[in-house]
Each structure stands twice: as C-alpha cells, then as structure tokens.
Amino acid sequence: MFATTAMRRDIGKGAALFHASVQDIGCGAHICNDLQVMARSRRLSKGEVDLRLGNGKRVATEVVRLVHLVVSDHVRIDLKECYYIPRMIQNIISIPILDNEGYEFSIIQNCFYPTA
C-alpha cells in the first residue's frame, strides 16, 4: 500500500479527526496518528502490513483499529481498517476505500464533501 497526500477539504463543522485529515485519492489505507480516537483494535504481526510513503520509504504500524467519524448531524463514516502510525504528521482518509465501501461524496473545486 502507498500512503501519499493529495487534496484537502473545507466542509465546516464535523469530527476533529476528519478536519485534521487529508482526504487522499491515491492512498490505499486509512492512517491515524491518535490512538484515543480509535475504537476496537487488533495487533498486527511483524510484517503483516507493509505501508510505504509516496517516496517509497517504509512506515511501521503495529495496530489496526476501527474509527467512527461523526462528520455532521447527518453524516457518519466508519473507517473499518485504520492503521495507527504515531509518526505521521497528518491523518489520511482514503477516498478509494470509502468509495469501495459504498460511501457517497462529492469533490467540488478540490474540496471533499461526504453526503448522507
């Protein structure tokens, strides 16, 4: 999987994690740098997941967790496999994964808008 950053969004109020994240059209994983927002978890075996940055550099992760994002009164997103990487500066939400899981959203003028 490759973790890269792409576009930012401005959707007003919502979950702190969502607003502190980059929504990425090229990333193959959800990535979070804060264990406190993560729900259920499981430890990964060494070498079970190989995450790499866009420059090819490997990034270590030991935990995969569920993250519930309440973006607004009408929109909730569950990141089913979110990898905890404490050294990441930005959280990353993968647009292709959300799309594959059936979430609906719009991208207008480089802004990401999840819908109910």
The pLDDT value given to residue 93: 87
Q: What is the DSSP letter of 44?
A: P
Q: Give me 34's structure tokens.
A: 């804060």
| In the chain, alpha helices (H) | 16-19, 95-100
Q: Give the number of residues written for the chain.
A: 116
Closest alpha carbon to 63 in 36, 25, 23: 36
Q: What is the pLDDT of residue 6?
A: 35
Q: What is the pLDDT of residue 100?
A: 92
Q: Which domains does the chain have, with CATH numbers?
A: 2-114 (2.40.70)
Return the pLDDT at 3: 38
What is the pTM (predicted TM-score) of this model? 0.71
- Rounded to an integer, what distance in angstroms lies between the CA atom of residue 53 and that of residue 46? 18
pLDDT per residue as tens, the chain (116 positions): 333 333 334 333 234 555 567 777 778 888 888 776 777 777 778 878 878 877 888 887 877 788 888 777 788 888 888 888 888 888 888 889 999 999 888 877 777 778 75
**Residue 42 in tokens:** 């499981």
In sequence order, what DSSP letters do the residues of 90-108 get, joined into one string? SEEEEHHHHHHTT--EEEE
* Residue 57 neighbours by CB under 8 Å, 6+ apart: none
